[in-house]
Chains A and B, each alone.
Chain A
Amino acid sequence: DAGVTQSPTHLIKTRGQQVTLRCSPKSGHDTVSWYQQALGQGPQFIFQYYEEEERQRGNFPDRFSGHQYPNYSSELNVNALLLGDSALYLCASSKDFEPEKLFFGSGTQLSVL
């Protein structure tokens, strides 16, 4: 049983570009959350998707948007990239908002030059 899978593992973009990150949740999970982890920091909550809708959102600008598909997979889109968007982006999945079943992927390392 595969866990949470994220793609790509690494990505290099330039300022002003747009990027899409992808996440496939663990089998049986229906909720996907995205986190940004800057270097030397703890992960920060971006948003959470359930039933194809954004249910919760952290303190991130509208440049950060997402989507969840009927198969529960999810995408994180970031527009107009800034140097400060360079970070490890983590996807986490769970079933029915239950924190004890929160599983994290290995992340996508985004570098903005």
Chain B
Amino acid sequence: AQSVTQPDIHITVSEGASLELRCNYSYGATPYLFWYVQSPGQGLQLLLKYFSGDTLVQGIKGFEAEFKRSQSSFNLRKPSVHWSDAAEYFCAVAPSGGYQKVTFGTGTKLQVIP
């Protein structure tokens, strides 16, 4: 069964600092990988996705993520965080070849301080 681990429940960074959110997945083959963001009381917005090809993927709002097969990781990065990036971030995995169901991690809550 597929699973996702986000080891950091809560992260605090200063505005303008760089950010890296960790994600490890478990799946028998190469899955589809996603990062979503959720603001309080809101649904989920897709930041970026990886299906195949270039292992460094670019997303919206200046985010990027790198797929590392050897480490079963898909970490999310941003070079300079803005106060508006404060939200909860979810890594997710789905079977490749057409999704059956998307499995989410438990999320990382990002706090941005001045």
Instruction: Give min CB distance, B106 to chain A, whole Å.
Output: 5
- Total interface residues on A, CB under 8 Å, equals 25
Residue A62 lies at the interface, judged by CB distance under 8 Å to chain B: no
B51 contacts A105, CB within 8 Å? no
Interface size class of B (residues with CB under 8 A): 20 to 34
The residue in chain A whose Cβ has the minimal distance to the Cβ of B104 is A42
Contact pick for A99, options B34, B43, B105, CB 8 Å: B34
User: Which B residues from 31 to 59 make CB contacts under 8 A with A?
Assistant: 32, 34, 36, 41-46, 49, 51
Write the chain A residue with the least CB distance to B95. Answer: A99
Residue on A with the closest CB to B46?
Answer: A102
Interface residues of A (CB under 8 A from B): 4, 33, 35, 40-45, 48, 56, 58, 90, 92, 94, 97-100, 102, 104-107, 109
